[in-house]
Each structure stands twice: as C-alpha cells, then as structure tokens.
A and B are shown apart, each in its own frame.
Chain A
Amino acid sequence: MKFGIVVFPGSNCDHDAWYATSHSAGAQAQMLWHKDTIIPSDIDCVILPGGFSYGDYLRCGAIARVSPIMSAVRKHAEQGRFVLGICNGFQILTESGLLPGVLLRNVSLSFICKDIHLRTEQILSPFTSSFDQGQILRVPIAHGEGNYFADEQTIHILEQEQRIAFRYCDANGNATIEANPNGSINNIAGILNDKGNVLGMMPHPERCCDPLLGNSDGLGVFTSLMQTVGLY
C-alpha cells in the first residue's frame, strides 16, 4: 500500500500525513509535487493535505484546483483509485468538482483549532472499514472555512446514498447543534463521492495517529485503506 501526498505551495500538513501513513500506519508514502503531471502507477491513494494552498487566494482551494497535478488526480479518481482530501484538501476536492458542495466560512467567523468528536456514519467505505458503525472519534479540527454547504437536493442525495462518512457530535455521539463547530449542514464533517473512492473531511485524522501524542483515533482512516488494498 502506497500513499502519494501532494505538496502545494502553502501545504502545511503534508509531513504530518507522511508521518501518519509511513510511521504510524506502516505503509509506504511518497511526496508528490504540485507541478507533477502524472501520479506514479504504484500510488494507491493520493492525499491532498491540509494547509493554505496558494495562500487561500481567491477562495480556499480555488487555485490549487487548476495546478498541474490536479488533472492527474482527477484521472486517478476516475480509475477508481483512492483520493483523500483533508481540510484544505477537502476544499480543493469541492472546488475541483470531485466532491459536491462547498466549504463556507465558519458561522462564528472564527478560525477554530480544537479537538472535536466525530461519529462514524458509514463503515462500508474503504476509508472507514476498520471503524465500528457509530464509533465516536476524537479528532482535531483547524479551519476558518469548514462550514459544509450544498443545495437541498444534493444533501438529500448524500443522506439517501449514505455518503456522509463522519458527522460532528458530542462525546456521547449526539449530532447536536451545540456539537457542530462550524455550522455545517446536518453536522457534516466528511463526505464520499458517488463511487466511494474519494473522501473529503475537515477534521485531521493524520494529527491523531500516534499514541505518543495522546490520541490515535485517526489511524483507522489509513489502516482501513490498507486493509482495502489488501497489503496490511
């Protein structure tokens, strides 16, 4: 199992993603440069990491969306291979149309950096198969634009097709308004594409993969993929 982590100018969670996949999860990992035009064929999962690609100019993810590597990322996804967008990576995926909707400014207008709770909503996906249905995870968020929005019809489809991977909840697993940190519709924290091979999520699983840091709740995202690819 090999992860390819895209480095854009302004990415700042790329090394965390590399550490989580290679050290914590024990997979192979390789950095990919945003100017690359191909994804090496041995890469099973491309990670679009968190950060502030291109300084968040224009809109978060709007410039990264047109960087050279994104055509290759699109092809990679079209071939049914895996793409994981975390935080800014999620924003890039919505800007590029690989996932529906947009990430609006947080309702509080504040940049929020804290641990939150997530409820695992869909465990049949390659990104979540090692979790239990409804499993509550404690994962950090760090964003100013994480307020997931899509039109009513899109939300209806996402809900009906069970493409909400994670929802913000309280410590007991209740997806309440109080437990929603940014105003996301239906407490949505992460969604899957229609084929289930692309996941975008605002929380940072790569920041909670090492027990030495006190929390390894995020590790399951990477080990799920490794189990799916079958080399775990």
Chain B
Amino acid sequence: MKHFKAMITITLRKSILDVQGKTVEHALHSTNFTSIDQVRIGKYVELTVHAADAQQAMSIVDDACKNIIANPIMEDHHIALEEISVGEHA
C-alpha cells in the first residue's frame, strides 16, 4: 500500500461567469496591474489517500471530486498527486 498527497484545485467552469474573479481583475487593473487578465478564483483542497498505486489513488480522488468535493454542474477540478512516506502529514 502506498500513500499519496492529493492537491485539488476547484474552479468555476469556464462557461460560468466568475463574478469574484472579475471583481478582483477590475481591482488589479485599477491598481495599475494592467498586464493581468483572466482572473479565476477557486478552492484548494488537500488530502491524503492510500492505494495500491498512483493510478488507483487518482481514480479514488477523482471519484470523490465528482461525488462530493466538487459539483460538476458548476465546477471543474484538477488533481495533482504526490507520493508520500507513511505517516507524513499532508
């Protein structure tokens, strides 16, 4: 059994107007960060998972994202996986 740390980024789907991102973008522009565009604001979730291998770990975490951690109607999720030693905290 291997242990992994999953780093999950959740953002609103591209088809949905991210009002919070737009507001921050305007704030950046009005403070002269005019080269910054396309601000998207999301959530970050970190967790550990044990599985036989990385593929299985990815499958478990992806399933969890689709079922609870993200709402696929409005959110996209991206998972980055990293193997950790037993007992290491995320």
Contacts and interface: CB of A to CB of B under 8 A. Distances in A.
A101 B69 contact: no
Interface string A90-120: 0000110000011011010100000000000
B20 A149 contact: no
Contacts, number: 28
A145 B71 CA distance: 14
Interface residues of A, number: 16
B56 interface: no
Contacts of A104: 12, 16, 74
A120 B16 CA distance: 28
SS class, residues of chain A in contact with chain B: loop
A177 interface: no
Given A104-B16, A105-B19, A59 B73 contact: no
Given A102-B73, A149-B74, A58 B19 contact: no
A62 B73 contact: no
Contacts of B17: 107
A150 B74 CA distance: 8
A66 B68 contact: yes
B19 A59 contact: no
B1 to A, nearest CB: 26
B71 A59 contact: yes
SS class, residues of chain B in contact with chain A: mixed
Contact of B68 (A58, A94, A109, A183): A58
Nearest to A150: B73
Contact of B74 (A66, A102, A109, A183): A102
Contact of A101 (B20, B23, B68, B73): B73
A102 B19 contact: no
B71 A95 contact: yes
B69 A149 contact: no
Interface in B37-77: 68-69, 71, 73-74
Given A105-B19, A109-B23, A62 B74 contact: no
Interface of B: 12, 16-17, 19-20, 23, 68-69, 71, 73-74
18 contacts: A58-B68, A59-B71, A62-B68, A66-B68, A94-B73, A95-B71, A101-B73, A102-B73, A104-B12, A104-B16, A104-B74, A107-B17, A107-B19, A109-B19, A109-B20, A109-B23, A149-B74, A151-B73
